[in-house]
Amino acid sequence: MQQQGQTYSSQNIQPQLNHGGHEMFDLHEVLAGMINVLDQYMIFRTFVKDQELLDILDRQYHFILSEYDTTVESFSTGRKPSRETSTYMMKGSTQVTYGLKPSQPKKPNQSLADVKDAGISGHMLGLIKSSASLLTMTAVEATNPVVRRVLASQVQNYIEMAYEIFLYQNKNAYYQVPQLQQSDMQQMVKGYAEHQGEPSMPSYQNPNQRPNYMN
């Protein structure tokens, strides 16, 4: 005898269980990832020598810690969290230096004594970029509307944190930005144009309606 499955609406289940199965696995991955970033930042702090990088690390650590608590609350209750999601504000200039300067080839460290701010900031950037991607993929597949909003609101903050680390690296020539020749850039920048006028969209064709060949 075949068992019939039951379908539940979101009004029929407890708010804390208002999550899809895929969402449950994704949220565990997101929260575990946040813990990993926080733990890594704590370890990195013992190696940082530059005060500016230390300030970036500390500000980002406390911001991520706050967002972690907000995510846990919204996920565990299924309701609007008691605190609003905040906006990360970076410090300093957004001026980017273009071009390549001569530098020594990079290679793996021989010991912990070789750990420098360049490497630490590179690890930070990698963690934040990976977190931004994971948050984006999870947000577009979350079924709980509150959790979806909480996750989506964090994506722009992780982008901002990644950009802050990039600017620090760029200023110190850890992350150099080459450019194309000016003529090539001009050609690529002008490679697209805005549309003109109203597009002529094809009329809707009902797939169930057979064509009349008698006319």
Whether residue 99 lies inside any domain: the answer is no
pLDDT the model gives residue 1 = 44
Whether residue 63 lies inside any domain: the answer is yes
User: Cα Rg for the chain, rounded, in angstroms?
Assistant: 25
Whether residue 168 lies inside any domain: the answer is yes
Backbone angles phi, psi at 161, to 5 degrees: -65, -40
Whether residue 209 lies inside any domain: the answer is no
Number of domains within the chain: 1
pLDDT averaged over 10-residue windows placed end to end, the chain, 215 residues: 48 57 84 98 97 97 96 88 88 90 89 94 98 95 90 96 97 92 91 89 78 59
Whether residue 18 lies inside any domain: the answer is yes
Whether residue 21 lies inside any domain: the answer is yes
pLDDT the model gives residue 8 = 45
- Using the Cα atoms of residue 145, residue 146, residue 147 and residue 148 in order, give the sign of their dihedral: positive
> What DSSP string describes 79-114?
S--SS--------S-----BB----PPP---SSGGG
pTM of the model: 0.84
What is the span of the domain harbouring residue 135? 12-90+115-173
pLDDT the model gives residue 138 = 94
Whether residue 82 lies inside any domain: the answer is yes
Give the single-character DSSP code of 209: S
Place of tokens 């996920």: 75
SS3 4: coil
Domain with 25 in it: what CATH number? 1.20.1260.10
Give the single-character DSSP code of 177: B
pLDDT the model gives residue 208 = 76
Whether residue 188 lies inside any domain: the answer is no
